[in-house]
Amino acid sequence: MGDHAPHGREERAGVSGTVDTPDPAEIEAARVLFAQECRFVAASATIPQLPAETLPEVAFAGRSNVGKSSLVNALTGRKTLARTSNTPGRTQEVIFFDLGGRLMLVDLPGYGYAKVSKAKQAIWTETLFAYLRGRPTLQRVSLLVDGRHGLKDGDAVAMDLLDKAALSYQVVLTKVDKVKPAELTAMIEETGAALARRPAAHPVILATSSETGAGVAELRAELARFAR
């Protein structure tokens, strides 16, 4: 993984906490989990359409075009599991996948796409936030942030809500294959500093690339901790 290896706690800057980087056994167990059948369960556009709360859930959130679909596909080793779209902001549903009967992967609609009308954006934001607030099975949100650009306004809104809901979230930098090692280190430092004051933020920032696979095994291991 070279220079783009995910940064464990010992490498992160601007935050403090205990080191619990996944060990090789955890990495392997997570690989096996994510190689299980991943079954589409539901696509819900409104809260009443959400599927029953049968499994622990981990959700993926982020701005439109952050690379969320690509990362969900990379996690599960499938090319077409999550929607990948050339029209960011087009997909507005919350999509549920059952991973081996042990963990629900939840693909949340991307936020902050400028070309969508304000009224439409407001409706999704409401649906998205209603889901985030009112889902007892939801254990963790992976908050995807473009590794080239860092945190944006929309992310701050999402983090405010997650903090308020006391819902654990972890910032996962995407597309780090496009970022030079020194810039990535600076980005991790800067992002870590912004998270330090946020109570529900996980202290470790993962650096991932769906292109190269960097950080993907570590993200699997992090999420596998929530599987039953």
Binding site for ligand GDP (CB under 6 A): 62, 64-70, 84-85, 88, 110, 174-175, 177-178, 209-211
Residue pair 96/41 in contact by the 8 Å Cβ criterion: yes
Q: 144 vs 227, which CB is nearer to ligand GDP?
A: 144
Q: How far is the CB of 8 from ligand GDP (least distance, A)?
A: 20
Q: Whole-number minimum distance, CB 198 to ligand GDP, in Å? A: 22
Q: How far is the CB of 199 from ligand GDP (least distance, A)?
A: 26
- Within 8 A by CB and 6+ apart from 65, the residues are 88, 110, 113
What is the dihedral sign for C-alpha 57, 169, 85, 47? positive
Residue among 15 and 220 whose Cβ is closer to ligand GDP: 220
Round to whole Å and give the CA distance between 220 and 209: 13
> Based on CB atoms, which residue is closest to ligand GDP, 127 or 210?
210
Q: What are phi and psi of 140, to 5 degrees?
A: -155, 140
Among residues 49 and 85, whose Cβ is nearest to ligand GDP?
85
- In the complex, the smallest distance separating the C-beta of residue 91 from ligand GDP, rounded to whole angstroms, is 8
* CA distance readout (Å), 37 to 16, 32, 43, 102: 37, 10, 18, 10
Look at the block and give the residue holding tokens 């889902």. Answer: 135
Tokens 């205990």, residue located? 18
Between 132 and 227, whose beta carbon lies closer to ligand GDP?
132
- CA atoms of 170 and 207, how far apart (whole Å): 11
The minimum distance between CB 218 and ligand GDP, in angstroms, equals 14
